[in-house]
Amino acid sequence: MTNAKVDAYIGRSTAWPAELAALRDVLLGAGLTEELKWGKPCYAADGANIAIMQEMKSFLALMFFKGALMPDPDGLLEEQGPNSRSAKRITFTSVDDITRLAAAVERYVAAAIAVEASGATVAPAPAWSPVDALQERLDADAAFCTAFGALTPGRQREYHLHISSAKQLDTRRSRVEKLAPQILAGKGLRDR
């Protein structure tokens, strides 16, 4: 059954409307239900999120939430990015891609449902130690240390990844200083 909010989303799309509609048909045909979550068409089975469609500049992605746990017999699953641990995606650039891969997508959906039904979960992220510039500020500023400690583990990790991605110590220190007001306010890296 189609969802009116997803209808509206596809109707507003300027990048991939035909591809969204074609992929939607495959996903609904595979027995998934749809909702609009996080502002995107999201597909579920028995109330558990299975996959979400993501419009990118050069492709349409079908991202499987537990893709890292799924078999990939056709070699279609791609990493989301270097720091993504559980999600993997299949990318499409045309309705022809979707039509050609429809049977494979249905198999991957079935595999994703089986992974979800098994209760399997992705192992927790490995522990990390704050990068030098961040550790310096944590040691020197009790209020900053308390505020950073109050952030969710995901927000802490996101800040750490952003700060540690700078090659130069001075740049890492500069990032810490620039982000300090946001951390002190209890906000995540992308919160405004």
Q: What is the pLDDT of residues 113-150, one digit of tens each?
A: 999 999 999 887 777 788 999 999 999 999 999 999 99
Please check whether residue 10 lies inside any domain of the structure.
Answer: yes
Q: Is residue 190 scored above 90 in pLDDT?
A: no
Domain span at residue 58 reads 4-118
Contact 83, 161 (CB under 8 A): yes
The type of residue at 187 is: K
Output the pLDDT for position 153.
87
> Which pair of tokens denotes residue 171?
């740049």
Contact 66, 116 (CB under 8 A): yes
pLDDT band per the 50, 70, 90 thresholds, residue 192: confident
Q: What percent of the chain has pLDDT over 90?
A: 85
CATH number at residue 47: 3.90.1150
Q: Are 143 and 113 in a shared domain?
A: no
* Number of domain units in the chain: 2
pLDDT band per the 50, 70, 90 thresholds, residue 80: confident
| Element at 33 (helix H, strand E) | strand 33-37
Q: pTM surpassing 0.85?
A: no
* 16-42 average pLDDT score: 97
